[in-house]
Structure 1
Amino acid sequence: MVKIQPFEVEQWMNRLENTPGVLNIAETCAASVSIKDLVQLCTDKDLPSPLSTSKKLTYGAITGSKMLRQRVASLLDRGLSSPQADATSPLTSPLPAENIIITQGAIAANFLLFYTLVGPGDHVVCVYPTYQQLYAVPESLGAEVSLWELTKENHYVPDVKDLESLVKENTKMIVLNNPNNPMGSTTPKSVLEDIISFAKERDIIVFADEVYNPLYHSLPDGQTAPPSILTLGYKKAVATGSMSKAFSLAGIRIGWVASRDESIIEAVAHARDYTTISVSQLDDQVASYALSEPVLGPLLERNMNLARTNLEILSKFVEKYYSVCSWVKPTAGTTALVQFSKGGLVPVHDPNFVLDVLDKTNVLFMPASPCFGLARDFKGFVRIGYVCETEVLKEALEVLGGYLEKFLLE
C-alpha cells in the first residue's frame, strides 16, 4: 500500500470553507464565473453557446478534443515570437496539439506525470514552499526528494546556484511552480533559461506547474511576463496547467499535460488509461469556448484587473497594520503569504490563529505551517487568496482589522 501524508491544505479547506456565513479569502481561484458570465464576456455574439450541442455524450476524444488541445497549445506558445525563436526547430516551433493531453484538472495532470516518470531509485528536486502535491507525491512513489528552498532575500525566486549542491547522479526531475503558490512570486525568463541550461547538460526533466499562468499582473517596471517552460528549446520540459485558477473555471475540472517529448506524452497517456480514460465532453466544450479568441481576451482582462485591484486593497491593509503583519508583495498569481505577530514581536501560532479568526470574525484563510511545509519555516504565516470578489475581500479585511486591533496590537 502506498503511504502518503495527508494533503493538509485540502484537508483544512474541506473542513472549513463551508462554515455558514464564511468570508472566504482562502480560495485560490480568480473569482469564479458562470457559463452565463462567459457568454456575456464574449465579443462575438454569433459564437454558439458552449452547451448548445446535439452531440451524443460518448467518452468523446480520449486525449481531449482537437479544438481544446489546439487552444491550449496557442496559450502555451506565448513567447515564441521572440527574435531568438527558430520556427523551423521542433523545440521552438508552435507546439503541436498532439503533444497535449487533457486531464481532470491540473491536480490529475501532476499526479499522472509523477506516477509515470518517477519511482524508487529516482531523485527529485522541488522548489519550496509550494503546493504540497509537488513534493509529497513523488516521495510517496518511492523517490527521494530534495527541497529547493526559496528565500525572502531573493524575493522567493529560485537561485540556480543552489542546484549544484542539490542535484545528484540519479536526479530525474526538477520541479518548478510559476507563478508560485503560496508566495505569488514570479520566476523570470532569464532564471528559467538558466535552469533549462543546467538541466540540459545533465539530461534532467524540468517540470513546471504553470497553473497560475498567465496571471503575471504586478511585475516590476521593465520586467516582462515569463513564457511557458515549453518555449525555451528543451525537449525534456513538461508543463501542466488548468482552467481553474487564471480562468475562473474550477468547476469544469479541465487541466492538461504538455511536452515536446513525445515519449513523455505517450507514457502519460498509457497511465491515464487506467484512471479517467477521458474528460467530460461538456467540460471540454466549455473550456474550448473560454479559450476561444472572443472570450479569452475579455476573461483574462477581467481577471488581471481584479487581481491588480484586490492586491492594492490587500497592500494597503498590510501597510496599515505594518506593526503586526508583514510580507513580500506578490507579483503574480492569486495568493499571498502574510506573517502575523503579537505586538510585532512574537509570531502567532498560525493554525490556532486561523481557527480563532474564523471563530470570531468568519474570515477564512489558510495556515502556512501545516499546509506548506515545516512549522519552523512558516511561524505565523497564513496564505490569503486575494483574487476573490472585491467586496468579499474588502469586508473580510475590515473585520480582520478589528480583530488585529483587539487581539494583536499593543
Structure 2
Amino acid sequence: MVKIQPFEVEQWMDRYELTPGVINIAETCAASLSIDDLVGMSVNQNEPGPLILSVKLTYGAIRGSQTLRQKVASLFDRASPVLIPVENVIITQGAIMANFLLFYTLIGPGDHVICVYPTYQQLYAVPKSLGAEVSLWKLKEEHGYIPDLQDLKRLAKPNTKMIVINNPNNPTGSTIPASVLKELIAFAEPRGIIVFSDEVYSPLYHSLPSDQEAPPSILALGYEKTVATGSMSKAFALAGIRLGWIASRDPSIIEAVSAARDYTTISVSQLDDQVAAYALSEPVLPSLLKRNEGLARTNLALLSAFVERYRSVCSWVKPTAGTTALIQFRKNGVPVDDPEFVVDVLDKTKVLFMPGSACFGLGKDLKGFVRIGYVCHTEVLGNGLHELGRYIEKHLL
C-alpha cells in the first residue's frame, strides 16, 4: 500500500470552514461566481448562455471538447512565438487531478524530484509517496520568495528527473520573473530534466512592480520537456465546476498521461466543459479577468493597510500575484504558535485562515506564519480583518 502524508491544508479546511458563522479568509479562490454572474459579464447579451441543454449526456470528448482545449491552449500563448497545439492539452477534474496524474505517470522509484518550498503540499508529497527522492528548493523571505538558481544547482543530481515550480506561488503570493524562468530552462534543458509548472493562479499577476511584466507560461520558453497545469478554480472563480488541465510541449508526455487517466476518471463532465468554454470565450474572459484582478488589487490594499497598522506584531513579503498572502504574527517579539493561534482566533472571532507551519511547513519551518486568502468578497475580507484587529489589540499588543 502506498503511504502518503495527510494533506494538511485540506484537512484543516475540511475541519473548520463550515463552522457556523465563519468569516472565511482562508479560501484561495477569487470570490466565486454563479452561472448568472458569468452570463451577465458577456458582451453578447443576446447570445445563449453556456449550457446546451439538448446535448445528450454521454461521456463526451475523452480529452475534453475541441472548443475548450483550444481556449485553454490560447491561455499559454502569452509571449510565446510557437502556439500550443490543441492536441497537447488534456482537460481534467481540477488542477489537483492534473498534478496527480503527471506525477503518477512520470515519477517513480529511482527518480529525483526538486520542488520549490513552501508550496502546495501535493507537489512534493505525491512524488515522495510514489517512491521518488524529493529535495526541497527553499524560497527565502529575504529574497522575496523568488527561487535562487544557485540553490537549485546544489540540489541537482545525476538522476534528477523533474523540477517543480508554482507560479504564482501558494502560499506566498510571489512571482517568479521571466529572467529566472529562462535561467531555469537553461539549466534543465541540457540535462533533459522535465520542468513542471503549477500555474493554477495564473494569470492573476495583479500587483507587479511597474517595471516588471507578467512572466510567460513555462510553455512559452522553447523547451519541449515543459509541462503546465491550471484550473478554473483560482484565477477564474469557478471552483465548483471542478475543471482543470494539463498542457505540454512534449506530445509523449500528453500521450502517457492520457493513457494513465483511462484508469481513473476517463473524461470530465460535459456540463463542466461547457461552462469552462463559455467562461474562457472572447465575449466573457476579459470581463472575468478584469473583475478578479480588480478585486485582488482592492483587497490587497486593505490587507496591506492592516499589516502596516499592526506592524509591531506582524510582517510579510507583500504578494505580487495570485490570491494568497503569508504573514507572520508575533507576541512580545516571539512568533506565535500558529496552529493554536488559528484555532483561538476562530474560537473568539469566527475568522478563519490557515496555519503556515502545519499546512505548509516541515518541522519548525514557518513558525508563526499564517496564510490568508484575500481575494474573497471585499466585505468578507473587511469584516475578517476588523475582527482580527480586535483580537490583536486584546491578545497580542
Q: Tell whether the structures are fold-level matches, with TM greater than 0.5.
A: yes
Please state how far the C-alpha of 1:46 moved relative to its aligned partner.
2.8
Correspondences of 1:134-153 after superposition (within 5 Å): 134-153=123-142
* Residue in structure 1 matched with residue 69 of structure 2 by the alignment: 69
Please state how far the C-alpha of 1:375 moved relative to its aligned partner.
4.0
* Residue in structure 1 matched with residue 379 of structure 2 by the alignment: 391
Correspondences of 1:262-277 after superposition (within 5 Å): 262-277=251-266
SS of the residue 2:230 aligns to: strand
Give, as a single letter, the amino acid of the residue that structure 1 aligns with 2:198. D
State yes or no: 1:351 paired with 2:329: no
Cα shift readout 1:245-295 (whole Å, capped 9, x = no counterpart): 000000000000000100000000000000000000000000000000110
Question: Structure 1: how far apart are the matches of 2:156 and 2:53?
Answer: 51
Please state how far the C-alpha of 1:48 moved relative to its aligned partner.
1.5
* Residue in structure 2 matched with residue 369 of structure 1 by the alignment: 357
State yes or no: 1:222 paired with 2:214: no
* Residue in structure 2 matched with residue 253 of structure 1 by the alignment: 242
* Residue in structure 2 matched with residue 52 of structure 1 by the alignment: 52
SS of the residue 1:172 aligns to: strand
Give, as a single letter, the amino acid of the residue that structure 2 aligns with 1:98. E
* Residue in structure 2 matched with residue 89 of structure 1 by the alignment: none
State yes or no: 1:234 paired with 2:223: yes
Give, as a single letter, the amino acid of the residue that structure 2 aligns with 1:186. T
Question: Structure 1: how far apart are the matches of 2:152 and 2:370?
Answer: 28
Question: Structure 2: how far apart are the matches of 1:399 and 1:94?
Answer: 48
* Residue in structure 2 matched with residue 342 of structure 1 by the alignment: 331
Per the normalisation by structure 1, the TM-score is 0.96
Match of 2:88 among 99, 104, 111: 99
Please state how far the C-alpha of 1:47 moved relative to its aligned partner.
2.6
Match of 1:292 among 271, 281, 288: 281
Match of 1:332 among 315, 321, 337: 321
SS of the residue 1:333 aligns to: coil
SS of the residue 2:215 aligns to: coil
State yes or no: 1:111 paired with 2:91: no
Give, as a single letter, the amino acid of the residue that structure 1 aligns with 2:372. I
Question: Structure 2: how far apart are the matches of 1:292 and 1:102?
Answer: 16
Question: Structure 2: how far apart are the matches of 1:172 and 1:94?
Answer: 25
* Residue in structure 2 matched with residue 26 of structure 1 by the alignment: 26
SS of the residue 1:376 aligns to: coil
Please state how far the C-alpha of 1:45 moved relative to its aligned partner.
1.4
SS of the residue 1:294 aligns to: coil
Give, as a single letter, the amino acid of the residue that structure 1 aligns with 2:319. P
Question: Structure 2: how far apart are the matches of 1:147 and 1:255?
Answer: 25
SS of the residue 2:48 aligns to: coil
Please state how far the C-alpha of 1:78 moved relative to its aligned partner.
1.1
Give, as a single letter, the amino acid of the residue that structure 2 aligns with 1:228. S
Give, as a single letter, the amino acid of the residue that structure 1 aligns with 2:324. T
The percent of aligned pairs where both chains have the same amino acid is 74
* Residue in structure 2 matched with residue 2 of structure 1 by the alignment: 2
* Residue in structure 2 matched with residue 88 of structure 1 by the alignment: none
Question: Structure 2: how far apart are the matches of 1:141 and 1:52?
Answer: 41
SS of the residue 2:364 aligns to: helix
Question: Structure 1: how far apart are the matches of 2:21 and 2:37?
Answer: 24
**Gapped runs of 5+ residues in structure 2?**
none
Give, as a single letter, the amino acid of the residue that structure 1 aligns with 2:259. H
- Structural RMSD (CA): 0.6
Please state how far the C-alpha of 1:52 moved relative to its aligned partner.
3.3
Question: Structure 2: how far apart are the matches of 1:180 and 1:347?
Answer: 23
Cα shift readout 1:99-118 (whole Å, capped 9, x = no counterpart): 00000000000000000000
Give, as a single letter, the amino acid of the residue that structure 1 aligns with 2:345. V
Question: Structure 2: how far apart are the matches of 1:104 and 1:58?
Answer: 17
SS of the residue 2:31 aligns to: coil
Question: Structure 2: how far apart are the matches of 1:219 and 1:65?
Answer: 34
Number of residues paired by the alignment?
A: 397
Question: Structure 2: how far apart are the matches of 1:338 and 1:154?
Answer: 16
* Residue in structure 2 matched with residue 201 of structure 1 by the alignment: 190
Cα shift readout 1:30-78 (whole Å, capped 9, x = no counterpart): 0000000000011111332111331100000000000000000001111
SS of the residue 2:287 aligns to: helix
Please state how far the C-alpha of 1:358 moved relative to its aligned partner.
0.1
SS of the residue 1:256 aligns to: strand
Per the normalisation by structure 2, the TM-score is 0.99
Question: Structure 2: how far apart are the matches of 1:114 and 1:52?
Answer: 35
Cα shift readout 1:115-138 (whole Å, capped 9, x = no counterpart): 000000000000000000000000
State yes or no: 1:133 paired with 2:126: no
**Range with greater deviation from structure 2 (42-51 or 184-193):** 42-51
